[in-house]
């Protein structure tokens, strides 16, 4: 028998991935994973050859965030696997469903410090929802099926399957996989009816309710239900960084993002509410500030599919374990089925208070007519010109906060970002992943110069693989957020934050990577250059926007501070 | 405060590592740990004694591990708890009789002897072993090894009899 005619673990792997409905894999080949790359040639699955495994991992995350499907990344043993640690942890923190397939040195060499050996499952233990090592090729269909099941259900997350080279080469047969092997995994989907009724009771009697919406609503596909519920109970809605797009920003009940760089009204409404309904959110420190001073007068209804989130940071008066969509459906039907609806307490005062905060403390910045360009202004112009019809990916830092603040999100899965881990360099590969998933959508990465330089080589992937993303690089010549902290909290002693404006030459660099390179440094040139960027659809575009290097991101609650003390301008610190 | 947890897990490679990784990740402290098979194939039982002010978050994090099937907290009153200890104490020919008599009050067996020391094995509740050590300690402990605690839930409704020296374990 020739090599090609044998059905091996590798064939079983590819067949299993096809069986799970996988259409695209992001990856980088190498020694131990070599066997899997051969049957890939005969598979309908598209392989996007990333330039770095971290990029491949973030592409899988971008793909997953933009669709809700499981993203797949493949890498070799050793350095291939260790390069995946950042995207795995990123996906764990943001509950993004991805499956990572890694090659491993042959079983006989494991533990011998073999070439390109790393204890991948051990490393992954700390940064995945679960990890597997295949020891027998006959198990591959079930392992892959379990991995996809774990990644996509309950609280989604990353799952890693490590496969030694000899197992990839082992002759095997493929059998229809079954889920019979997970006695310890039974996520609760439906909320307890008693707690659902208790929640309705609290919300109905509340004078100052707030719905505190997290990424769980998007993961659960519960945006429509959220809209219906918010309107039914007439409660204002705040959307966390992970939940931007879960509720339309142009809705009268929308208050925007709360927290460290949140909108004043969103943060303050939580502080002053009497009932806080957390839906798929986890009381992250960037939202709560000092947790002891967070929403001091509020009774908490905490809805989460992960029981461990409930009571982790803040005790809940009404804990509801369940999938956000399912619980919202039950909340709505319970509400509608009530025979004796409670008279809503008059919330006029609450809404009047909210309106006065909105009037008094809007998001604000000043764009000097002669420049320098402010990121906020550019984002507003981009929003106006595109009509907001785009999928936005962001890096991490000031530009990310401004993107979240100034882009008016209307739809779930139109915001792809690194929330929990705060991974600089996320935007470019995540945008590439999102664009492969939604080729008809306008996908724009809003990135900073510091972030861009961490993963920009994935634009070569984008050019080569015909993935025409748009990347806006806000060039403020350094690490803006770190600089902001040094200015505010270290007496202006700037240490290691200056990247300079001289190198690289972004348009040239873009051209060298097969993209169209554009640059703008004057406010009056913004609209034409955006128009120009939008006309290019056959190649990726990199638009360098030279911006004010001293601009700071406000509002701001200094780390660990109380959310009652929101700093609106640098003069207040 | 110490709590005893019994955790039923799938008998799969890396399960113990996952549990100890979770403990160190989340900053929980393990006081003692015992792992062994159960009467069911493919199931292991881990008995953990942990120092923690409250257990709720710890139990939830344990349950979150895919290979963990069941987590149960053992209230002291409803738990059958046992530990095993091997202890070597200084015992000159002149004190040997006294040492042996004290040990026998605790149902400790002599398992090794030399001209200057005696070695005992003793099994019982944590309290039983503690009391035993208090009584034998003054003779001079040379070496000591203690197993992790194992525990099973009591079936009977009876509250456990108080531990009385020399009466039982």
Tell me how close the Cα of A151 comes to any Cα of chain B, in angstroms: 12
Domain coordinates of chain A in residue numbers?
A: 3-169, 193-360, 375-553
Element holding A517 (H helix, E strand):
strand A516-520
- Token pair, residue A196, equals 């659902």
Torsion over CA: A43, A49, A53, A58 (sign): negative
Count the Cβ atoms, other than its own, within 10 Å of residue B37: 11
Cα–Cα nearest to A334, from A209, A221, A193, A203: A193
List pLDDT tens digits, range A335-364.
998 866 666 677 999 999 999 999 999 999
Contacts of B57 in chain A (CB under 8 A): 308, 311-312
List pLDDT tens digits, range A278-318.
999 999 999 999 999 999 999 999 999 999 999 999 999 99
Residue A183: closest CA among chain B residues belongs to which residue? Answer: B69
Instruction: Provide DSSP, A231-260.
Output: HHHT--EEE-GGGTTSS-TTSTTEEE--ST
Catalytic residue, from A59, A133, A242, A481: name it. Answer: A481
Decide if pLDDT at B78 tops 90.
Answer: no
3-state secondary structure A427-466: HHHHHHHHHHHCCCCCEEEEEEHHHHHHHCCHHHHHHHCC
Whether B162 and chain A come into contact, CB under 8 Å, resolves to: no
Distance CA B159, CA A558 (A): 54
Task: Evaluate whether B73 touches B59 at the Cβ level (below 8 Å).
Answer: yes
Decide if pLDDT at A88 tops 60.
Answer: yes
Query: Residue A311: which of B14, B56, B66 has the nearest Cβ?
Result: B56
Distance CA A217, CA A238 (A): 12
List pLDDT tens digits, range A231-264.
999 999 999 999 999 999 999 999 999 999 999 9
Say which DSSP state B76 is in: G
Averaged pLDDT for residues A397-403: 98
Whether A193 and chain B come into contact, CB under 8 Å, resolves to: no
Please tell me the predicted confidence (pLDDT) of residue B169: 40
Count the Cβ atoms, other than its own, within 10 Å of residue B75: 10
Whether A121 and chain B come into contact, CB under 8 Å, resolves to: yes
List pLDDT tens digits, range B11-46.
998 999 999 999 988 888 899 999 999 999 999 999
Task: Evaluate whether A235 touches A210 at the Cβ level (below 8 Å).
Answer: yes
Decide if pLDDT at A148 tops 90.
Answer: yes
Contacts of B9 in chain A (CB under 8 A): 184
Distance CA A456, CA A361 (A): 37
- Token pair, residue A364, equals 């604000």
Distance CA A289, CA A462 (A): 39
Say which DSSP state A315 is in: -
Distance CA A5, CA B117 (A): 71
Q: Which CATH number fits domain A193-360: 3.40.50.1220, 3.40.50.11540, 3.30.450.40, 3.60.20.10?
A: 3.40.50.1220
> Strand order in A541-546's β-sheet?
A415-416, A391-394, A443-448, A470-475, A541-546, A516-520
Catalytic residue, from A53, A117, A309, A458: name it. Answer: A53
Distance CA A246, CA A224 (A): 9
Record: fold of A3-169 = Rossmann fold (3.40.50)
Interface probe, candidates A162, A183, A312, chain B, greatest B C-beta count within 10 A: A183
To the query of whether residue A204 is one of the catalytic residues in this protein, the response is: no
Instruction: Provide DSSP, B18-55.
Output: HHHHHHHHHT-EEEEEEEEE-SSTTEEEEEEEEE-S--
Distance CA A258, CA A262 (A): 4
Please tell me the predicted confidence (pLDDT) of residue A180: 77
What is the CATH number that goes with domain A375-553?
3.40.50.970
Contacts of A311 in chain B (CB under 8 A): 56-57
Pairing of strands A209-213, A158-164: unpaired
Whether A125 and chain B come into contact, CB under 8 Å, resolves to: yes
C-alpha A58: how far from chain center: 10
Among A residues 21-60, those touching chain B with beta carbons less than 8 Å apart: none
C-alpha A357: how far from chain center: 29
C-alpha B169: how far from chain center: 13
Say which DSSP state A107 is in: G
Do the interacting molecules here have an ipTM over 0.85?
yes
Helices (H) and strands (E) in chain B — how many of each?
Answer: 4, 9
- Token pair, residue B8, equals 């039923």
- Token pair, residue A254, equals 């929308």
Pairing of strands A470-475, A443-448: parallel
Catalytic residue, from A115, A355, A389, A531: name it. Answer: A115
| Torsion (CA) A358, A361, A367, A373 in degrees, nearest 10 | -90
Q: Give yes or no on whether A193-360 and A375-553 have one common fold.
A: yes
Cα–Cα nearest to A47, from A56, A163, A430, A463: A56
Half-sphere exposure (Cβ direction) of A359: Cα atoms closer than 13 Å: 6
Please tell me the predicted confidence (pLDDT) of residue B158: 61
To the query of whether residue A312 is one of the catalytic residues in this protein, the response is: no
Give strand ranges (E) for chain B: 2-10, 29-37, 43-51, 68-74, 79-90, 109-113, 117-124, 141-146, 150-153
Please tell me the predicted confidence (pLDDT) of residue A179: 85
Task: Evaluate whether A240 touches A284 at the Cβ level (below 8 Å).
Answer: yes
Query: Residue A125: which of B9, B18, B69 has the nearest Cβ?
Result: B18
Tell me how close the Cα of B32 comes to any Cα of chain A, in angstroms: 22
Please tell me the predicted confidence (pLDDT) of residue B2: 87
List pLDDT tens digits, range A14-69.
999 999 999 999 999 999 999 999 999 999 999 999 999 999 999 999 999 999 99
Owner of token pair 């963990």: B68
Task: Evaluate whether A87 touches A96 at the Cβ level (below 8 Å).
Answer: no
pLDDT band of A5, cuts 50, 70, 90: confident
| Contact pairs from chain A to chain B, CB under 8 Å | 39
List pLDDT tens digits, range A318-333.
999 999 999 999 999 9
- Token pair, residue A503, equals 């190198």
What region does B42 belong to: left with phi over 0, alpha with psi -120 to 50, or beta? left
Averaged pLDDT for residues A152-158: 98
Domains of chain B and CATH, by start: 2-74 (3.30.70.260), 80-153 (3.30.70.1150)
Averaged pLDDT for residues A442-467: 98
To the query of whether residue A257 is one of the catalytic residues in this protein, the response is: no
Task: Evaluate whether B111 touches B120 at the Cβ level (below 8 Å).
Answer: yes
List pLDDT tens digits, range A545-566.
999 999 999 999 999 999 999 9
Task: Evaluate whether A43 touches A71 at the Cβ level (below 8 Å).
Answer: no
Please tell me the predicted confidence (pLDDT) of residue B167: 40
To the query of whether residue A116 is one of the catalytic residues in this protein, the response is: yes
Decide if pLDDT at B161 tops 90.
Answer: no
Please tell me the predicted confidence (pLDDT) of residue B160: 53
pLDDT band of B89, cuts 50, 70, 90: very high
As a whole-number percent, the residues of chain A with pLDDT over 70 amount to 98
The mean pLDDT value of chain A amounts to 96
Distance CA A214, CA A192 (A): 20
Decide if pLDDT at B6 tops 70.
Answer: yes
Say which DSSP state B86 is in: E
Whether A311 and chain B come into contact, CB under 8 Å, resolves to: yes
Taking the alpha carbons at both ends of chain B, their separation in whole angstroms is 23
Give strand ranges (E) for A266-326: 275-279, 299-304, 318-321
């Amino acid at each position: 028998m020739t090599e090609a005619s044998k059905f091996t673990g590798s064939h079983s792997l590819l067949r299993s991935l096809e069986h799970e409905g996988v259409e695209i894999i992001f990856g980088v080949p190498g020694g131990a994973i070599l066997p899997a790359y051969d049957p890939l040639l005969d598979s309908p699955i598209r392989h996007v050859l990333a330039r770095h495994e971290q990029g491949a991992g973030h592409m899988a995350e971008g793909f997953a965030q933009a669709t809700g499907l499981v993203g797949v990344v493949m890498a070799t043993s050793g350095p291939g696997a260790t390069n995946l640690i950042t995207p795995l942890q990123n996906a764990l923190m943001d509950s993004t469903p991805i499956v990572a397939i890694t090659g491993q040195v042959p079983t006989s060499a494991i533990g011998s410090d073999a070439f390109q050996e790393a204890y991948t499952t051990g490393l992954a233990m700390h940064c995945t929802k679960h990890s597997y090592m295949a020891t027998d090729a006959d198990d591959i269909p079930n392992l892959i099926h379990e991995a996809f099941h774990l990644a996509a259900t309950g609280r989604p997350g990353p799952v890693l399957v490590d496969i030694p080279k000899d197992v990839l080469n082992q002759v095997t047969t493929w059998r229809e996989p079954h889920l019979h092997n997970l006695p310890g995994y039974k996520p609760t989907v439906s909320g307890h009816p008693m707690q659902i009724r208790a929640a309705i009771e609290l919300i109905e009697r509340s004078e100052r309710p707030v719905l505190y919406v997290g990424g769980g609503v998007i993961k659960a596909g519960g945006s429509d239900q959220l809209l219906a519920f918010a309107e039914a109970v007439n409660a204002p809605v705040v959307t966390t960084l992970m939940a931007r797009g879960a509720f339309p920003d142009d809705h009268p009940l929308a208050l925007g993002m709360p927290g460290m760089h949140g909108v004043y009204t969103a943060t303050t409404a939580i502080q002053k509410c009497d009932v806080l309904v957390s839906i798929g959110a986890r009381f992250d420190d960037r939202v709560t500030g000092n947790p002891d001073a967070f929403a001091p007068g509020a009774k908490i209804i905490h809805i989460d599919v992960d029981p461990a989130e409930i009571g982790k940071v803040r005790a809940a008066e009404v804990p509801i374990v369940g999938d956000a969509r399912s619980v919202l459906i039950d909340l709505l039907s319970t509400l509608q089925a009530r025979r004796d609806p409670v008279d809503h307490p008059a919330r006029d005062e609450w809404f009047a208070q909210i309106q006065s905060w909105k009037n008094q403390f809007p998001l604000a910045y000043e764009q000097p007519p002669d420049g320098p360009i402010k990121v906020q202004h550019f984002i507003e112009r981009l929003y106006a010109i595109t009509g907001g019809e785009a999928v936005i990916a962001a890096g991490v830092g000031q530009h990310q906060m401004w993107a979240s603040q100034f882009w008016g999100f209307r739809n779930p899965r139109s915001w792809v970002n690194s929330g929990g881990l705060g991974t600089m360099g996320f935007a470019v590969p995540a945008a590439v992943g999102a664009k492969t998933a939604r080729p008809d959508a306008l996908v724009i990465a809003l990135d900073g110069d510091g972030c861009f330089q961490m993963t920009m080589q994935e634009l070569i992937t984008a050019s080569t693989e015909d993935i025409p993303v748009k990347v806006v690089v806000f060039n403020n010549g350094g690490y803006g957020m770190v600089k902001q902290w040094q200015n505010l909290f270290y007496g202006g002693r700037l240490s290691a934050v200056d990247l300079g404006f001289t190198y690289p030459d972004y348009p040239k660099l873009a051209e060298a990577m097969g993209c169209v390179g554009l640059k703008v440094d004057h406010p009056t040139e913004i609209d034409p250059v955006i128009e120009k960027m939008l006309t290019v659809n056959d190649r990726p575009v990199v638009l360098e926007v030279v911006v004010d290097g001293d601009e700071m991101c406000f509002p701001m609650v200094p780390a660990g501070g109380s959310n009652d003390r929101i700093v609106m301008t640098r003069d207040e610190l | 405060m110490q709590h005893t947890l019994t955790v039923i897990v799938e008998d799969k490679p890396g399960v113990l590592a996952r549990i100890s990784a979770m403990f160190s990740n989340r900053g929980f402290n393990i006081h003692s740990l015992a792992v062994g098979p159960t009467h069911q194939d493919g199931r292991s039982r881990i008995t953990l004694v942990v120092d923690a002010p409250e257990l709720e978050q710890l139990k939830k994090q344990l349950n979150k591990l895919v290979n963990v099937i069941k987590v149960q907290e053992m209230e002291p009153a409803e738990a059958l708890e046992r530990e095993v200890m091997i202890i070597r104490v200084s015992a000159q020919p002149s004190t040997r009789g006294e040492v042996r008599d004290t040990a026998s009050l605790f149902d400790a067996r002599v398992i090794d002897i030399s001209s200057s020391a005696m070695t005992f094995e003793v099994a019982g509740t944590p309290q039983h072993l503690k009391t035993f050590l208090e009584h034998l300690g003054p003779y001079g402990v040379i070496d000591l090894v203690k197993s992790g605690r194992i525990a099973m839930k009591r079936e009977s409704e009876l509250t456990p009899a108080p531990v009385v020296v020399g009466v039982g374990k």
